[in-house]
Amino acid sequence: MRPATPAPGASAVSTWRHRAATSLGGAAIVVMVAVLSLALLWVALRLAGFDATLALGALWRGSFGTWYALTSSTLVRATPLVLTGLAVAIAFRAGVWNIGADGQLLVGAAVATAVGLAWGAQLGWLSIPLALAAGAIGGALWAGVAAVLRTKFGVLEVISTIMLNFVALDLVGYLVRGPLQEPSHAYPQSDQIPATMHLPILIPGTRLHAGFALAVAASLVLWWAMRSTAAGFRVRAIGANPDAARVAGRVDVARTTTNVLLLSGALAGLAGAIEVSGVTFALYENISPGYGYTAIAVALLAGLDPLGVLGTGILFGSLEAGALSMQREASVPSVVVTAVEAALVLLLLAISRRGSAASIIARFAGARSPTPDDAP
């Protein structure tokens, strides 16, 4: 006998500490990729005839450049992206392809609005936790539809969740023209929620509301739970190999899948409730500019790590905040930022072809991850 040999082509030893170092390395790669994407944006803006230096300067001033931009724009924008990013990350980690964070966010926003309008005035500050809890439950139930479809009828959640997004969009459209429409019946939006239900401001003089603190807390709790608790271990196990989790670990895969979908929906629903009670103070048809879709990029860029999602969520929040000031100051259409976000993800995949994001996308595309069939 000789010592254990790594399979040909397999990566060298990967230790626990080594993996911690890798996640730091992952953060470094994301920063590098972000800089590269901005360089590409600069070139593209030059070619399109814009004042690229002015535009990028505006992007910076609108995102991190001033205290007000950082707190009132970037972090406010980042809040729903972090929460929906967590929703996607935890689901994908479990091999549950929840593409429906946007619909779950909409339902959460609608339920929170309805609760606020019905009881907000009577309950005072208690209406805040009530509305947030109601939003989370609404999002969970919306995801629960997909869970029932999967466990009872074998409908793939990757189909059902995306379909439920459109149903949620139409549901909100109906609500703001029907039962929840403002009293004058002039605009497709709800009445303003009572002021008692507005989230407290974290830093006086800014628009940064308590929802951001909840998003940070959710990242920390999920990060801890995924690595330290039995439930988090089961989530990782069914995502990595559901057969082994079932046979070797006697994990109830269907139940764990359902729980993960419910939690994922609850996080997205919470994001919706926070948008209503912290930013818009009313339900609008277009309350989400596609947060739940951007969340997929946020989660993948973070390698599905909850702490990483906090970072990439803020990064994407800063891009979207900066885009607005770029439009104001340099007349660059704010949609170019969407191209930057796409470039970010594509560059990351190109760089870390063997990395976690790439392998997750490969599995997402239905390909099986390779197994070392040739260990000597």
Which residues of this protein are in contact with other proteins, per CB under 8 A? 1-8, 10-18, 227-230, 233-234, 236-237, 240-241, 243-252, 369, 371-376
- Which of 171/240 has CB closer to other proteins? 240
9 vs 49 by CB, closer to other proteins: 9
Cα–Cα distance, 217 to 312 (Å, whole number): 16
| Residue 373: strand, helix, or coil | coil
CA proximity to 309, closest of 297, 319, 321: 297
Q: Give which of 345, 336, 260, 333 is closest to 294, Cα–Cα.
A: 345
* CA 33/CA 325 separation, integer angstroms: 22
User: Which distant-in-sequence residues (6+ apart) come within 8 Å of 324 by Cβ?
Assistant: 62, 73, 334
Smallest separation, CB 232 to other proteins (Å): 8
Q: For other proteins, which is the closer residue by CB, 18 or 46?
A: 18
Q: How far is the CB of 155 from other proteins (least distance, A)?
A: 18
Residue 227: CB minimum distance to other proteins, A: 8
β-strand partners of 189: 284
Residue whose CB is less far from other proteins, 237 or 314: 237
3-class DSSP state of 11: coil
- Residue 133 burial (CB count, 10 A): 17
Nearer to other proteins, 280 or 359 (CB): 359
* Residue number, 183 or 376, with CB nearest to other proteins: 376
Shortest separation between residue 236's beta carbon and other proteins, angstroms: 8
**Residues contacting 294, CB < 8 A, separation 6+:** 81, 84, 316, 341
The first and second tokens of residue 248, run together, are: 């070797």
DSSP single-letter state for residue 201 = B
Taking Cα atoms as reference points, which of 285, 261, 284, 319 lies closest to residue 101? 261
Angle formed by the axes of helices 253-275 and 127-153, to 10°?
140
Instruction: Report the nearest approach of other proteins to the CB of residue 165 (Å).
Output: 31
Minimum distance from CB of 1 to other proteins (Å)?
A: 7
C-beta closer to other proteins: residue 339 or 375: 375
Nearer to other proteins, 209 or 234 (CB): 234
Q: List Cβ neighbours of 48 (8 Å cut-off, separation of 6 or more).
A: none
Name residue 284's beta-bridge partners.
189
Residue with structure tokens 């999602």?
Answer: 309
Closest distance between other proteins and the C-beta of residue 237, in Å?
A: 6
Closest separation in Å from C-beta 371 to other proteins: 6
